[in-house]
Amino acid sequence: MDGNEPITRNGQRIPNGMLQENYPRNMWWVAAHSREVTSKPLARWILETPVVLYRLEDGKPAALYDRCPHRWAPLSEGHVDGDKIVCPYHGMEFNSEGLCTKAPTQHMKPKRAEIPSFAVREAGAFIWIWMGEQDSIDCDPPEVDYQVDPNWSFLDGYYEVAANWVLIRENVMDLTHIAFLHKNTFKQNDWVTPPDHYMEGDTVCYEQDFDLAPLSPLFCAGMGLPEDKPIKRTQKGRMPSLAISFSDWVVHDPTPEPDARAEFVMRGCHIVIPSVRGKTHYFWGAAFDVPSITDDVAEKTKASIVVAFDEDKHLLEIMQKQISKDPRGLDFLEVTLGADGAGIFVRQILNKKLKAEGRPL
């Protein structure tokens, strides 16, 4: 923070706008996990917009506005026929560009029977979507090839969280809360000092070295390490996009067993997508640079992560509910701590993008 940002009446330098329409449209967001999108239409609300996702005959994903222009029936309730999606109400067919190609109840195709289509890309384990101006696409989705790399083991999960996406994004960019909110689950209780935070181009980064200490039991099994063994670790975080961030546990075992590995990486992945007002799609991932962990280890690790992330979900939803009901809303004093450096960068990027789209907070 350079000190030149406007100070609001409550002393908050950069508003988080969590009670407003606060999502940029001209960027890549995740629409779904790749395995969710098939020849059967999938309905999903993204940026307060109903979207239908499906696959074409060649396997490529497609996305349209999920409302037929005739009498507004959701196309997601229909079916896919070849490369066309068919409305369940009167059988109107639409191609992947959103053009009506057939209205079976009449000979002529209706004029202006067109609905918005959205650019989609399949990258890593997910389908990405561009909801803004389609001619303004100037980049590819963030690099996530590790998610489908056979040299990594990738676990994932999904939550619908009844909280604004900004709350979740800031939560995962400041992991000093792990020592408090997750003291009985993560048990990484040495994480009480703020990391160094900085920008690399448009990517928010943080980094922090830790002294020898037992690793969080959530990740020991995936690395084949005992839960009580002191190890050296470096935490490295990156947010290449408001939609996705990574947190790497870079682990060094100073006294490995004979012929055993001494270096490991566990990469946490946090994906947020605004849904309907006040709700967020949250996809998480945990990847080990281990070619194939056993099913037992995968199930144990995933179950432990879910217990910990349930704690985040519970608190964030209570925060959203209380703030929404409080008549003071965002006018209440908000104090920024030293560990909020990466979160402040998040707000700067968010406000910059919204300003570019003519929608400043």
**Which sequence spans correspond to the domains of the chain?**
28-131, 148-356
Helices (H), 146-294: 165-173, 178-181, 217-223
CATH superfamily for domain 28-131: Rieske [2Fe-2S] iron-sulphur domain (2.102.10.10)
- Check residue 98 and give left, alpha or beta (phi > 0: left; psi -120 to 50: alpha): left
242: nearest Cα among 279, 275, 267, 274? 274
Q: Identify the residue whose tokens are 């029977």.
A: 113
List of residues 6+ apart from 65 with CB closer than 8 A:
49, 50, 51, 52, 98, 115, 116, 117, 118
Residue 19 phi/psi, 5° resolution?
-100, 10
**DSSP for residue 108:** S
CATH superfamily for domain 148-356: Naphthalene 1,2-dioxygenase Alpha Subunit; Chain A, domain 1 (3.90.380.10)
Angstrom distance (rounded) from CA 191 to CA 310: 20
Q: Which pair of tokens denotes residue 21?
A: 């329409």
Which residues make beta-bridge pairs with 347? none
* Nearest-10 crossing angle of helices 165-173, 341-356: 140
CB atoms closer than 10 angstroms to residue 179 = 16
pLDDT digits (tens, 9 = 90+) for 110-163: 888 999 999 999 999 999 999 999 999 999 999 999 999 999 999 999 999 999
Structural contact between residues 153 and 288, judged by C-beta atoms closer than 8 angstroms: yes
Angstrom distance (rounded) from CA 9 to CA 269: 35
Which pLDDT value is given to residue 282?
A: 98
Residue 203 phi/psi, 5° resolution?
-100, 125
Domains 28-131 and 148-356 share a fold: no
Structural contact between residues 265 and 36, judged by C-beta atoms closer than 8 angstroms: no
Residue at 84: amino acid letter: K
User: With a cut of 70, which residues of the chain have pLDDT below it?
Assistant: 1-20, 360-361
The H or E element that residue 351 is part of is: helix 341-356
How does strand 28-33 pair with strand 84-86?
Answer: unpaired
Query: Structure pTM?
Result: 0.92
- Sign of the C-alpha dihedral, residues 152, 155, 161, 167? negative
Residue 224 phi/psi, 5° resolution?
70, 30
Angstrom distance (rounded) from CA 196 to CA 341: 8
Q: Which pair of tokens denotes residue 24?
A: 């940029």
Which pLDDT value is given to residue 9?
A: 41
254: nearest Cα among 225, 232, 233? 232
